[in-house]
Amino acid sequence: MEYMQMTLEDWLQTKAKLQAELLGIRKSFVRIGFFLRKIEESKGYENDGYHSIAEFAKKEYGLEGSTVSRFMAINREYSIDGYSEQLRPEYEDFSRTQLEEMLQLPEEDRTMITPDTPRAEIRELKQFNRQEPDPGQAAGFQELVKSFFHENPDILREVYQAEGEIDRMKEAVIPSGNRSYRKGIYFLVMQDEGLKVKEFRKNPEPVTWQQFFAVMREIFGEELPEEVIAPAQKEENQKETNEETREETQEEANENKQEREASLTERTETNAESTDPGTEESETGSDERIGGAGENDAGGGVIAPAQKEDSAKAANEETQRKETEVYVRNTLSNLQISIVKKAWEKAVEDAKRLIQYLEELIHESRG
């Protein structure tokens, strides 16, 4: 597929046409609702033998009853003068889903909503209006601001760092351009152009960003308070502690691994010495077996090497068992230290190494 190049003029015209089409879709909701209301109020559907507007719209256009009701409600709430084909200018940039969600909001509360407001935020405001809040959670606007920053200390630090630069301070609070906060009997909406705070069962009141930050300074002071700085320092210190813990436990694991490898090497050499038929001792034994058949029959010369091999094998198994116990105990201890210090990644690595080591032992024993 070839990509078409657009000039700046083409790009601007395309954007304008797209905007016009989208606006046309939004206006069409209002016009459809207007025509449906007109048919319902005049009972024009009876001309075709229908008993209701819902039956008429379903049979003629495939529209469900709930859809018909929403179209008519959109026209009633958002058209000029409440009964016309024209969408009110202040709602031209809203989507159909936003307009539908706002139907159950009072006219005053709709001023808290902008075209950038997520649908979920509109629903939360509707829920706030329906449910009786706990009045003890926030006793006033100052308590509301205090609760917001206590729950968002990182934002508070960023705001203080941007002190004097109102745009940066706003961006710290609303990086996406829109935020809402609900506490007790208050619902706070924060937008680029300003804030609006709604007390339960009352109309929303406008608040400027200057007023908001002034209240913040009254609460926390002109400089960032120590109790806000402390958590950040504590987090950094904890991070350094975790790094040191990981280094220490890694060193312990390496030491355990070296000890285990040295032990395995020693056992291998011991086994080789006890079973090598080319040693001087084996040659002497051969001479004794050739020259002393009677003694061999009595169970002396032939049985001794077998007993010696069994004893060496038993000793090796006991040594291996003890080393395994030591390694497992040390690894479990390291795991406990890592977990207590919240070095989760190191704990997982130690657990994996322990499982791998035990699997190797099982494989060797079966072999």
Kindly state whether residues 88 and 154 are assigned to the same domain.
no
Q: Domain end: 224, 241, 258, which one?
A: 224
Kindly state whether residues 190 and 218 are assigned to the same domain.
yes
Q: Domain end: 189, 224, 259, which one?
A: 224
* Domain contains 131: yes
User: Tell me, what's the pLDDT at 16?
Assistant: 79
DSSP string across 45-106: GGGGT-SSHHHHHHHHH---HHHHHHHHHHHHHHBGGGSSSSBPGGGTT--HHHHHHGGGS-
Kindly state whether residues 360 and 247 are assigned to the same domain.
yes
Q: Domain end: 54, 73, 104, which one?
A: 104
Tokens for 206, please give them: 């406008």
- Torsion angle defined by CA atoms of residues 247, 248, 252 and 254, in that order, rounded to the nearest 10 degrees: 20
* Domain contains 11: no
Q: 309: closest CA among 285, 337, 335?
A: 285
Determine the straight-line distance between the first and last CA of the chain, rounded to whole angstroms. 61
User: Tell me, what's the pLDDT at 359?
Assistant: 65
* Domain contains 281: no
User: Tell me, what's the pLDDT at 62?
Assistant: 92
Long-range own/partner contacts, residues 281-288 (CB < 8 A, 24 or more apart): none
Kindly state whether residues 172 and 127 are assigned to the same domain.
yes
Average pLDDT along the chain, 367 residues, taken 10 residues at a time: 68 75 78 92 91 94 93 95 94 91 95 94 95 75 94 95 94 94 94 95 96 95 72 54 59 62 56 47 41 43 60 73 72 61 60 68 61
Q: Which domain, by its residues, includes 204?
A: 105-224
Kindly state whether residues 74 and 30 are assigned to the same domain.
yes
* Domain contains 3: no
Instruction: Please state the domain count of the chain.
Output: 3
* Domain contains 8: no
Kindly state whether residues 241 and 334 are assigned to the same domain.
yes
* Domain contains 286: no
Q: What SS3 class is residue 207?
A: strand
Kindly state whether residues 180 and 248 are assigned to the same domain.
no
Return the bridge partners of 79, or none.
Answer: 87
Kindly state whether residues 68 and 29 are assigned to the same domain.
yes
Q: What SS3 class is residue 232?
A: helix
Kindly state whether residues 195 and 259 are assigned to the same domain.
no
* Domain contains 9: no
Tokens for 259, please give them: 């000890």
Kindly state whether residues 45 and 94 are assigned to the same domain.
yes
Kindly state whether residues 240 and 355 are assigned to the same domain.
yes
Kindly state whether residues 243 and 186 are assigned to the same domain.
no
* Domain contains 202: yes
What is the spatial distance between Cα 160 and Cα 229, in angstroms, rounded to a whole number? 11
